[in-house]
Structure 1
Amino acid sequence: MRVFKFGGASVKDAEGVRNLLNVLSQTGTENTFLVVSAMGKTTNAMEAVVKAYFDDKPAVAGALDEVVSYHDAIARKLFPADGHPVHGRMRGLFEEVRGFLAWNKSPKYGFVYDQVVGYGELLSTTLVSAYLTDNGVANTWLDIRKYIKTDSNYRDVNVQWERTQEAISSLSPGKELFITQGFLGSDDNNFTTTLGREGSDYTAAIIAYCLNARSVTIWKDVPGVLNADPRYFEKASLLNRISYREAIELAFYGASVIHPKTLQPLQRKEIPLHVKSFLKPSDPGTTVGKGQGIEPQVPCFIVKKDQVLMRLSSLDFSFIVEDSIGDLFKLLHDYRMKVDMIQNSAISFSVCVDNKFGRLPELLQHLKGRFKVVHHENVSLYTIRHFNADAIRSLQDGREVLLEQRSKETVQLVVK
């Protein structure tokens, strides 16, 4: 048994769906479970529908019509005949969305979000399943909400593993291909829940764990996991192998590798994870699995831009000790600052944060009542795993280094 996951970029248009069939023609479909994300930027578009529902009711119809038009255009290229049953199934799904928005009485944003946004995956899998069937690939479409059971912490649920294991174990994958949605589950009341960002990867891992799969493959528009983001670094190179632990370390520092939530169930059963290109399916890609470090042994570069560096020192030169640091972390939590790096001495405390929610002015005002505060906005935090002197020099050249921190395998630089 193997699990394949195709993300939104792989099925963003009709050509992408055709290419998915091409990938399956090269890999085969026996003993395969297919997990598919919403098409292209559909999740963002459905989020716009939810936002309009709460902020601008008259705009809801227009926001949803954009999603309808996008999917209709793809469907008409894949199924030109007006009478094809997939068109009716698509209309039925959109009517369900409109119906929910009409009768819903809940004022809770998270609940409404999960009921609406999840239709992106229901639409994509409906289209893909029908296209595969029309092209001679027998498959069984499954509603994953019947199998992945969760609590009701909408938008960021916890999986109820025993119930999920029991439900998924009832399936008997064989020669026929299963196709289902990523990102979705359901609670005890059978309302739709979502697994959070990177939720489709997590879905693939949950299914693999419950079925004791031999592998999970995530199909992406890159050749595999690279040692650096090619948008910011020249000469990014492919990593052939990464250990589970190394992948989690890279993700912790901000690399867009694989979310730790996805890796944890795979690591427990030592199920290897492959990251491969859907454009070149015969290429080897990257394997994440049991083992040591990375191969090849090269520095890995990670950058977080638009950060804020704050240096706090006591007004009376007293020590910054446990109670002060505890208060500081509570404030950072209260003002929703994501902490990416800390460094402290006897009388100072430096922290690099992501001002994601725009509450920096409020936080600074609060801090200045107790500390001397110097802050730098729009800085970049660079992290190098497995650094060497050349790697550090490449980041220092032409940049002002505001803060540096090193451990045995990792160096971090905050630069302007």
Structure 2
Amino acid sequence: MRIFKFGGASVKDADGIKNVVNVLNQVGFDNTLLVVSAMGKTTNAMETVVNSYFEDKSEVASAIQDVLKYHNDILMDLFENDKHVIFKQIKSLFDEVQGFLAWNKSPKYSFVYDQVIGYGELVSTTILSAYLNEIGITNTWLDVRTFIKTDDNYRDATVDWEKTQASITKGIDKTKLNITQGFIGSDDNNFTTTLGREGSDYSAAILAYCLNATAVTIWKDVPGVLNADPRYFENTQLLNQISYREAIELAFYGASVIHPKTLQPLQRKEIPLHVKSFIEPKNAGTTVGKGANIEPKVPCFIVKKNQVLMKLSSLDFSFIVEDSISELFKLLHDHKMKVDLIQNSAISFSVCVDNKFGRLEELLDHLKGKFKVTHYENVALYTIRHFDTEAITGLQKGKEILLEQRGKETVQLVVK
């Protein structure tokens, strides 16, 4: 069985849906499972619904209506008959969102977030499945929450592999064309959970692992894995092949093409990952698997924006050693700070973190009781794998360097 993952950009409008059909017709769809993200910027729009619920409930209905209209416009372009059952199905899904928010009693943002946000994927897959059936491509729509079982750590759930494997083995017919959602799962109480932002790639890898798939293909609007993000860098190059280890390194440092958790399950069963263009589906793209470390071997640039750099030093000039560092990491963990870089000396400790849960001020209050703290918000963390002098010099030009860390293969710069 093959797993195809289509992201939000590939299904952002009616033309995108029709292009998915074009891809399937060109590369075939026997024994294939499609994992599909929410359409376009729907996840952001559903976040607006959640935020309205907590900040101004009078705005909730309007926020939901905006998302419904976006999808209805797509339906009007796909289905000639505006009485088609799909219109009722999609309205019913949004009615479920409104119903949940009406009866919900939980004050927990992360719980509410997960119950609402996944409707983006439920809607997109319902539309794609209906359209394929409409044009004669028979398929089976699957609710992935039945199959991917997790704990109840909402917004960043951990997969229960034993339960997930059992559900998938029992419930998925590998001989059919199946369509399901990325990003979401469910806990033991059947509440929806999410696997972390951009988790649809991970969903594809989980399903591939449990189904012993022959390959996973991620279809994107770029030719494959590039040596840099073309939104931020010029003259990017296509990487024809990279090893699992190299891809995991790139993902760890923040390469946006591959989700950090995607590669581990694929590596365990040596399932190759292809990253290909949905615009040019016959092109080779990039293969991630066993073999050459990276080909061609060129510097790879990664940038993480909107980071926070904290520089800590002891108030009494005592050493920052194991017990201090252990305490620091516990605080970072407790405040859900993702650590992207650390550097320490005898009496100082620097850390670059992602404040994605917005708990920086709370953390700083704790730290200032024990350390002298200097912090810089909205900094950028640049990583260069397989760097050379030219690559570093070009990157440093015109920037204020707040911190530099250099290893054998990798250099990292925090810049203002």
TM-score with structure 2 setting the length:
0.92
What amino acid is the match of 1:305?
K
Which runs of structure 2 are paired with 1:2-401 in the superposition (5 Å)?
2-170=2-170, 171-174=172-175, 176-334=176-334, 336-356=336-356, 367=367, 370-401=370-401
Q: Decide which structure has the larger Cα Rg and report it.
A: 1
Q: Distance in 2 between matches of 1:363 and 1:86?
A: 48
The alpha carbon displacement at 1:358 in A equals 5.6
Q: Which runs of 5+ in 1 are unaligned?
A: none
Q: Distance in 2 between matches of 1:373 and 1:162?
A: 44
Q: Which runs of 5+ in 2 are unaligned?
A: none
Q: Distance in 2 between matches of 1:406 and 1:391?
A: 13
Distance change >3 Å, CA 19–CA 161, structure 1 → 2: same
The alpha carbon displacement at 1:12 in A equals 0.6
Q: Distance in 1 between matches of 2:366 and 2:129?
A: 55
Structure 1 stretch displaced more, 378-387 or 207-216: 378-387
Deviations 1:75-98 (CA, angstroms, capped at 9, x unpaired): 011012122121122222222222
Q: Distance in 1 between matches of 2:178 and 2:156?
A: 26
Distance change >3 Å, CA 257–CA 169, structure 1 → 2: same
Paired residues of 2:199 and 2:259 also in contact (CA < 8 A): no
Q: Distance in 2 between matches of 1:379 and 1:123?
A: 36
- Residue identity (%): 74
Q: Distance in 2 between matches of 1:218 and 1:198?
A: 13
Aligned pairs, number: 415
What amino acid is the match of 1:128?
L
Paired residues of 2:144 and 2:180 also in contact (CA < 8 A): yes
Name the SS for the 1:173 alignment partner.
coil
Q: Distance in 2 between matches of 1:194 and 1:360?
A: 23
Instruction: Give the CA RMSD over aligned residues.
Output: 2.2
Paired residues of 1:156 and 1:194 also in contact (CA < 8 A): yes
The alpha carbon displacement at 1:368 in A equals 5.2
Structure 1 stretch displaced more, 361-370 or 396-405: 361-370
Structure 1 stretch displaced more, 403-412 or 270-279: 403-412
Deviations 1:52-111 (CA, angstroms, capped at 9, x unpaired): 222222111101101110111000110121221211222222222222223333333333
Q: Distance in 1 between matches of 2:149 and 2:243?
A: 29
Structure 1 stretch displaced more, 74-83 or 163-172: 163-172
The alpha carbon displacement at 1:407 in A equals 1.1
What amino acid is the match of 1:45?
A
What amino acid is the match of 1:4?
F
Structure 1 stretch displaced more, 143-152 or 307-316: 307-316
The alpha carbon displacement at 1:284 in A equals 1.0
Paired residues of 2:182 and 2:201 also in contact (CA < 8 A): yes
Paired residues of 1:247 and 1:257 also in contact (CA < 8 A): no
The alpha carbon displacement at 1:331 in A equals 4.2
Paired residues of 1:302 and 1:383 also in contact (CA < 8 A): yes
The alpha carbon displacement at 1:355 in A equals 4.5
